[in-house]
Structures are given as C-alpha cells and as structure tokens.
C-alpha cells in the first residue's frame, strides 16, 4: 500500500497548468483511508502550486474523519497562502452541510469544470 491508494480509496494527483493541483479521489474516505488525503493536502500546502482542487465526485462515502482532514487541509493551505476547492459528491456534500450548514467552502461547485474555472 503506497501513499496514494489502498483497496478502499485511490487518490490521483494531476497537475493543471503551472499552478493547479487536482486531487482526484475515488472510493471511500474513512479512518482506514483518510491519511491518503491528509498526506496529499499537506504536500500541496508545503509545495509550490498555489491552488488545489479536490475532485470528490467519486467518493461514495466520507465520514467525520475525512471531513476533519478536509478542515485541517484547508487550514494548512490557507496558512500557506494558497487556495482550495472541493467538488463534492452528494454524500460528501451531505456530510459537509450537516456539520457546516453555513458552508466550509465558499464556492458551491457542482463539477470539475466549475472548479477549474474558479481556480484559474
């Protein structure tokens, strides 16, 4: 099991242009897999790209540990002066809104194109 995937979750890292990193996740985000996302977000925060788009449209399940990783990642990225965008699946959006009814992420993004547009 390497840093980017296990049997439950795959995180693909793509670069878009000079500045944008896209983290394309598919699978389930829970206690067993959350470290994969945390690690990627940490490396983005510490890296030289200025924006990250998390494509979570293929995430079938995210629990509070995944949400915690998002919150923590967002904080690290903002502290690094960078921007973060999330394109959630319905399930991810549902969990997000349960905990943060007033939105954790400012932009409501329905698909990756909207995210890319917002990021560039």
Partner 1 sequence: MLLFVLVALTYAAGSEIALALIERSGLQGVFFIPAGITVAFLLRLQRSVWWIVLAAAGIAEFTMDVLGGFNVAQALGFALANTAEPLVGAGIVVATCGVLDLARRRHVGWFTLGAVLGGPALGATILATADTMFGGDQYWIVFTQVWLGDAIGVIIVGSAILVWGSSRDRRSVFSLWGLLLVIGSAVLTVLVMSLSDLPIAFSVLIGVVLAGALFGTRAVAVTSLVIAITMAILLIVDPGVLIVGVDQRVALVLIKLQIGSFALAGLVIAAEAHERDLAVTRAAVASMEAKTLDQERSRQHQLAIEVQRGLLPDRLVDDPALQIAARYEAAEEMLEVGGDWYDTIQLRDGAVALVVGDIVGKGVDAMTSMGRLRTAVGALAVQNPEPGPLLEAVDEFVGGPDGTDYATVFCAILDAGRTRLTYASAGHPPALMVTADGVARWLEGAGSGPLYGDTTVKRSQETVDVPPGAALLLFSDGLVERRGESLTRGLERLEELGTGLVGLDAETICDEVISALHLGDTWHDDVVLLVVKNSPHDRNTYDDHHPSDPLELSRIRASVREWLTSREIDEPVIDDVIIALGEATSNVVRHAYVDGNRGGMRVRITVADSSVDVAVSDQGTWRAPSPDGGGMGLGIIESIADDVDLSTTPDGTTLRFRIALGGSAEGTPISTS
Question: Footprint of partner 1 on this chain (CB under 8 A)?
Answer: 8, 28, 30-32, 61, 63-65, 67-68, 90-91, 94-95, 98-99
Rank residues 59 and 119 by Cβ distance to partner 1 and give the closer one.
59
| Closer residue to partner 1 (CB): 54 or 67 | 67
Give min distance, CB of 60 to partner 1, in A: 9
User: Residue 77's closest CA among 51, 105, 115?
Assistant: 51
Q: Which residues contact 115 (CB under 8 A, 6 or more apart)?
A: 53, 55, 85, 86, 87, 107, 109
Spatial distance between the Cα atoms of 33 and 47, rounded to a whole number of angstroms: 22
Minimum distance, C-beta of residue 74 to partner 1, in the bound complex (Å): 14
Cβ proximity to partner 1, 16 vs 104, nearer residue:
104
d(C-alpha 94, C-alpha 101), whole Å = 10
């Amino acid at each position: 099991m390497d840093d980017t995937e296990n049997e439950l979750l795959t995180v693909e890292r793509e670069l878009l242009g000079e500045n944008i990193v896209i983290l394309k996740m598919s699978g389930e985000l829970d206690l067993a897999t959350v470290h994969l996302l945390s690690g990627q977000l940490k490396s983005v925060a510490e890296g030289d790209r200025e924006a990250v788009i998390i494509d979570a449209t293929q995430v079938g399940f995210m629990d509070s540990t995944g949400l915690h990783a998002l919150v923590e990642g967002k904080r690290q990225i903002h502290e690094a002066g960078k921007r973060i965008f999330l394109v959630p699946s319905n399930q991810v959006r549902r969990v997000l809104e349960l905990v943060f009814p007033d939105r954790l992420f400012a932009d409501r993004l329905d698909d990756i194109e909207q995210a890319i547009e917002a990021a560039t």
